[in-house]
Amino acid sequence: MGKTLFEKLWASHIVVEKQDAPSLIYVDRHLVHEVTSPQAFDGLRINNRKVRRPDLTIATMDHNVPTNDRSLPILDQTSAIQIQTLEKNCKDFGIKLFDINSPNQGIVHVIGPQLGITLPGSTIVCGDSHTSTHGAFGALAFGIGTSDVEHVLASQTLWLEKPKSFEIRVEGKRKNPHAVTAKDIVLSIIKNIGTGGGTGTVIEYCGEGITDLSMEQRMTICNMSIEAGARAGLVAPDEKTFDYLRGREYTPKNYESLVDSWRDELKTDGDAKFEKQFILHIDDIVPQVSWGTNPGMTCDVTELVPSPDEFSKGDLNQKKGAQKALDYMDLKPGTPIVDIQIDRVFIGSCTNARLEDLIEASKVIRGQKVSSTVKAMVVPGSQMVKKQAEDIGLDKIFIDANFEWREAGCSMCLGMNPDILSPGERCASTSNRNFEGRQGTGGRTHLVSPVMAAAAAIKGHFVDVREWDLN
Amino acid sequence: MKGNIIKYAQDNIDTDVIIPGEYLKIHDYAELATHAMEGLDPDFHSKVKEGDFILSGKNFGCGSSREHAPIALSHSGINAVLALSFARIFYRNSVDGAFLLPIEIDEDTYDGISEGDEIDIDISTNEIKNITKNQTYKMKPFSDIIEKIISAGGIFKYNPDQN
């Protein structure tokens, strides 16, 4: 019987395999950031260990860096210490660091692909759950905790139990691909399979609805695999993948010969069997807006906020969860989504802060102004994205519309840097999690695509962006 | 392993409410513990006692890979979380770092145990005794591998040739 892409990636990285035991898996790339690494480096020092492969380890600072003027000192002392600690750890252990002043600094899941560090067929880990993003290139990429970060630093390997394989086939074509985006596809998937629907699996996304997407759009899909509980998400590499990585700063010198082997090997065999399958038809999907406090609590922009009974379909805990979410979000069942007024707009995060995201959002706002009731910001995913955007004049379009134009970082995705919501504020956000307090204590998050966020910024409430001319 | 139950009768308790992002900068585990569960239950720190257990629904620990989540619970005194199911990174972090035991239970056990009940967990027999109600339930056994990592005391101490 044939093998799935995941099974091939797994098999090609086994160092030790035994019956009824986890396998020791080799790690090709280890990405490090300031928040989940300090204790791991402490552990190395205590045990007098070195970093096994500093040449395969790359670090940057993204989670708690301020996104305002980089020439200003970092006011939050604990953030400043965490950033200085990463600098010291990288220096002591010989790890390449893209620091706060580097032109390559940015969200770790944005810079990996941009620099050609993320490669098809490789294994990539990072102390961050959105490492699944890199799976868009046909890499087996997943988030790990700090104990595992230490284990990888020390050994370049990880003990793992083999996850199950899950095929998500996306069939059909979007009618309006500028208004209905990759974000809407992945939110639709999570809405259908639930936040635990992918638990214990590696998802392979396939079908016309996926191969049609650009690399940046595929990254948005794989990024949110973890929101369905999956370890990782994968897309088989194709010519778009190979073209994207060609000629980047860290793309290997023997790239073309690597591409030749990837082209043959990195795909699921026709007779391979997945342990789980889900099919999403996208011909008729519409822009999605989350209304609750996890990404599965999402509906069409044309719908009404559901009642707990409608949402739960008889499950008591689901019903209680929905009621609690509605209370937290201060929403009443039956309210049209387009009637929900917003206070803030955040275009950013490892989900949706790449160049294409900013180009698409700029088409929505060109020549318009942000509603007087809304405060809106754009935080490019990396300093490279920022520069590319500025080179084509996007900064001017956003600034003219009264968006703030920031430096790169995780920013308002996760409330651990100065960019946070105030209690009670309601935000249209292109990020990945709408958990209680995620964007700041008491903050209310609605997950949407960049074009939906941009349109909401202009109108002051959600709108169906399909009604706008985005060509 | 005896202790009292703190019950959160809901699904999808995420790592952002277990330890909100703003506290991930804290390096000291004891200080981190003072903010455990703050996003969901601001009274948690004042009511939790050494040896207590958390009981909750499906997909406990979903979201971020922050190991700060099991660390904050563990340093608050929590020795085990009993849940209908777990998000995998939380489960793995709990076991690999030997912070706490993630114990999967069935619906009857979930319904049977109430806030404040004193229970006794025996992982050698997979039995959970409810001392308060004089009832006994079965936990879902750990897989062989997880059991070995737990008995070794975490992933660093686990050696497949010895354990």
* Nearest CB to A294; choose among B12, B39, B149: B12
Report the gap between the CA of A346 and the closest CA in chain B (Å).
17
The predicted pLDDT at position B86 comes to: 98
Domains and CATH numbers, chain B: 2-162 (3.20.19.10)
* Nearest CB to A435; choose among B16, B24, B59: B16
Angle at A290 between CA A289 and CA A293, to 5 degrees: 170
The predicted pLDDT at position A251 comes to: 98
Contacts of A226 in chain B (CB under 8 A): 63, 89
SS3 (DSSP) at B118: strand
* Nearest CB to B14; choose among A21, A36, A435: A435
How far apart (Å, rounded) are the C-alpha atoms in residues A134 and A33?
A: 16
Average pLDDT for chain A: 97
HEC sequence for chain A: CCCCHHHHHHHCCEEECCCCCCEEEECCEEEECCCCCHHHHHHHHHCCCCCCCHHHEEEECCCCCCCCCCCCCCCCHHHHHHHHHHHHHHHHHCCEEECCCCCCCECHHHHHHHCCCCCCCCEEEECCHHHHHHHHHCCEEEECCHHHHHHHHHHCEEEECCCEEEEEEEECCCCCCCCCCHHHHHHHHHHHHCCCCCCCEEEEEECHHHHCCCHHHHHHHHHHHHHHCCCEEECCCCHHHHHHHCCCCCCCCCHHHHHHHHHHHCCCCCCCCCCEEEEEECCCCCCEEECCCCCCCEEECCCECCCHHHHHCCCHHHHHHHHHHHHHHCCCCCCEHHHCECCEEEECCCCCCCHHHHHHHHHHHCCCCCCCCCEEEECCCEHHHHHHHHHCCHHHHHHHCCEEECCCCCHHHCCCCCCCCCCCCEEEECCCCCCCCCCCCCCEEEECCHHHHHHHHHHCECCCHHHCCCC
How far apart (Å, rounded) are the C-alpha atoms in residues B149 and B162?
A: 11
pLDDT in tens, B57-88: 999 999 999 999 999 999 999 999 999 999 99
Least confident piece of the model among A164-168, A183-187, A309-313: A309-313
* H or E stretch covering B56: strand B53-56
CB A263 within 8 A of CB A257: no
Decide if B44 touches A, using CB distance below 8 A.
no
The predicted pLDDT at position B156 comes to: 86
Beta bridge partners of B81: B54, B102
DSSP state of B142: P
Confidence of residue B155 (pLDDT cuts 50, 70, 90): confident
Q: Indicate the pairing of strand A288-290 with strand A276-281.
A: unpaired
* Nearest CB to B63; choose among A147, A320, A435: A435
Q: Indicate the pairing of strand B118-122 with strand B127-130.
A: antiparallel
Beta carbons of B59 and A195 less than 8 Å apart: yes
Confidence of residue A406 (pLDDT cuts 50, 70, 90): very high
CB A325 within 8 A of CB A447: no
Residue corresponding to tokens 């660091």: A97
Closest residue in A to B64 (Cα) is A129
pLDDT in tens, A30-78: 999 999 999 999 999 999 999 999 999 999 999 999 999 998 889 999 9
B17, B19, B31, B88: best to mutate for the A interface, most A CBs within 10 A: B88
How far apart (Å, rounded) are the C-alpha atoms in residues A61 and A82?
A: 9
Report the gap between the CA of B46 and the closest CA in chain A (Å).
20
If you count residue pairs, one on A and one on B, with CB atoms under 8 Å apart, how many are there? Answer: 147
pLDDT in tens, B134-144: 999 999 999 98
* Nearest CB to B24; choose among A18, A20, A35: A35
Beta carbons of B14 and A128 less than 8 Å apart: no
Beta carbons of B156 and A294 less than 8 Å apart: no
Beta bridge partners of A344: A375, A427
Cβ density class A126-137: b for 16+ within 10 Å, e for less: bbbbbbbbbbbb
Burial of A165 (0-12, 13-18, 19+ CB in 10 A): buried
**Which of A41, A76, A36, A78 has the alpha carbon at shortest distance from A60?**
A36
Decide if B150 touches A, using CB distance below 8 A.
no
Report the gap between the CA of B52 and the closest CA in chain A (Å).
23
Both tokens assigned to B156:
């660093």
Tell me what the mean pLDDT of segment A423-430 comes to. 98
How far apart (Å, rounded) are the C-alpha atoms in residues B74 and A297?
A: 30
Beta carbons of B17 and A436 less than 8 Å apart: yes
Burial of A313 (0-12, 13-18, 19+ CB in 10 A): exposed
Beta carbons of B25 and A433 less than 8 Å apart: no
Beta carbons of A147 and B93 less than 8 Å apart: yes
What's the one-letter identity of residue B78? I
Both tokens assigned to A354:
């790449």
A294, A435, A447: best to mutate for the B interface, most B CBs within 10 A: A435
Beta carbons of B59 and A143 less than 8 Å apart: no
Beta carbons of A436 and B92 less than 8 Å apart: no
- How much of chain A exceeds pLDDT 70, in percent? 100
Report the gap between the CA of A21 and the closest CA in chain B (Å).
6
pLDDT in tens, A331-389: 999 999 999 999 999 999 999 999 999 999 999 999 999 999 999 999 999 999 999 99
Average pLDDT for chain B: 95
Closest residue in A to B145 (Cα) is A21
The predicted pLDDT at position A330 comes to: 98
Q: Cα-flanking dihedrals φ and ψ of residue A23, to 5°? A: -95, 150
Tell me what the mean pLDDT of segment B52-61 comes to. 98
Beta carbons of B89 and A143 less than 8 Å apart: yes
**Which of A434, A182, A462 has the alpha carbon at shortest distance from A304?**
A462
The predicted pLDDT at position B100 comes to: 98
Beta carbons of B25 and A64 less than 8 Å apart: yes
**Which of A465, A467, A425 has the alpha carbon at shortest distance from A446?**
A425
Listed by number, the residues of chain B in 56-75 with a beta carbon closer than 8 Å to a beta carbon of chain A are: 57-59, 62-67, 70
Give the ipTM of the model, two decimals please.
Answer: 0.94
Both tokens assigned to A252:
């290997």
Decide if B161 touches A, using CB distance below 8 A.
no
Residue corresponding to tokens 């109108």: A459
pLDDT at A22 over 90: no
Q: Cα-flanking dihedrals φ and ψ of residue A114, to 5°? A: -65, -30
Q: Indicate the pairing of strand A57-60 with strand A29-32.
A: parallel
C-beta atoms surrounding A442 within 10 Å: 14
pLDDT at B163 over 70: no
CB A355 within 8 A of CB A462: no
